[in-house]
Structure 1
Amino acid sequence: MEISVYSIAKNKDGFGIEEYIKMAQKYAKIEDVILFNNKIAKAQSISKDESLRCYDEIYASRISGFCIGLDERGKLFDSQEFAKLLDSKAKISFFIGGAYGLSSEFKSKMDMIISLSSLTLAHKVAKLVLYEQIFRGLCINAGHPYHK
């Protein structure tokens, strides 16, 4: 199984994400892809619409496998349901939007839109929660006692 997490950020997030990636490697190949360039930086200073267009452009070539977009208005899952979402898929791609989220057009290309919480989360916190839930879901599917 391959899992790719795509995010738009100025720098590597840290926040303990590397630990979850390392622990999850025994169950799946995990790829953390952080995208940012001068075009995005400029677009974010111009407008929301221009930013969303740039996000779409940079993400378009990365759509592969079962694609999941993160959005605060997406479907909420508990950990057991999230584990089922991961089960029996060869490749999953998660997309985390930039400062303005993901465009409606890009979200329409996703197989599913999910929410990690009803709360609004900072980008780094959302990414950490996603990685923890990926690890937890893989453990549930493998019968590992991490999830109690």
Structure 2
Amino acid sequence: MEILVNSIQKNSDDFNEKIDKYIKMSKKYAKINDNVIFNDMIAKAQSKTQKDALIAYDKVYLPKLEGYNVALDEKGKILDSYEFAKLFSGKNKISFFIGGAFGLSDDFKKSTDAVISLTKLTLSHKIAKLILFEQIFRALCINANHPYHK
């Protein structure tokens, strides 16, 4: 199984070590890639308007739709860990998408297979991403009957 986590954010070195820990622990179950995207087009668009930013996000994300696509959005469906683990069942490739400062466009969310929320709380991108990687590892363990979830 291959899992791709795509995020629009400036590099956050302070969380990379923690995220790398979950990627390393998950390697026996799946190949995981952390794709951080931030370029001049996004930076300029974000300094203009929300509409410009969402268009820029779509331009970088639409070509990355691969396999089973999951958008993270505060208005998405909230799953427990077992429901989240079911997302992985029977899939060869899963792509997760974390929006930029303005989230994700409605058109992009409609182009994905699922829209989920990690919590009703508003989280910084760094914390949301860390929680996502921990939940990915937890889901892989649940599906492998590994005792980590207990």
- TM-score per shorter chain, which class? over 0.9
Pairwise CA distance, 1:14: 4.3
- Counterpart in 2 of 1:11? 11
Other-structure match for 1:70: 72
User: Aligned partners of 1:103, 1:123: CA distance in 2, in Å?
Assistant: 17
Residues in 2 aligned to 1:100 and 1:115: alpha-carbon distance in whole angstroms: 15
1:102 aligned counterpart, secondary structure: coil
Indicate whether 1:61 and 2:66 are aligned. no
Task: Structure 1 unaligned segments of length 5 or more: list them.
Answer: none
After superposing on structure 2, the runs of 4+ consecutive aligned residues of structure 1 that deviate more than 3 Å are: none
Normalising by the residue count of structure 1, what TM-score does the alignment of the two structures yield?
0.98
Q: CA deviation at 1:133?
A: 0.3
Matches of 2:95 and 2:128, distance apart in 1:
16
More helix by share: 2
Partner SS, residue 70 of structure 2: strand
Amino acid at match of 2:22: Y
Could you say what the CA RMSD is over the residues aligned between the two structures, in angstroms? 0.8
* 1:12 shift after superposition: 3.9
In 1, Cα distance between the equivalents of 2:95 and 2:14? 20
Letter in 1 for 2:11: N
Q: In 2, are the aligned partners of 1:67 and 1:110 still within 8 Å (CA)?
A: yes
Report the equivalent of 2:142. 140
How many residues are treated as equivalent by the alignment?
148
Distance 1:145 1:117, change over 3 A: same
Conserved in 2, the CA contact under 8 Å of 1:12 and 1:34? no
Alignment deviations for residues 120-146 of structure 1 (CA, whole Å, 9 cap, x no partner): 111001000100000000000001100
Q: In structure 1, what is the equivalent of residue 54 of structure 2? A: 52
TM-score, normalised with respect to structure 2: 0.96
Question: Aligned in 2, Cα 1:79/1:13: closer, same or farther, shift over 3 Å?
Answer: farther
Choose 81-90 or 67-76, whichever is displaced more: 81-90
SS of residue matched to 2:129: helix
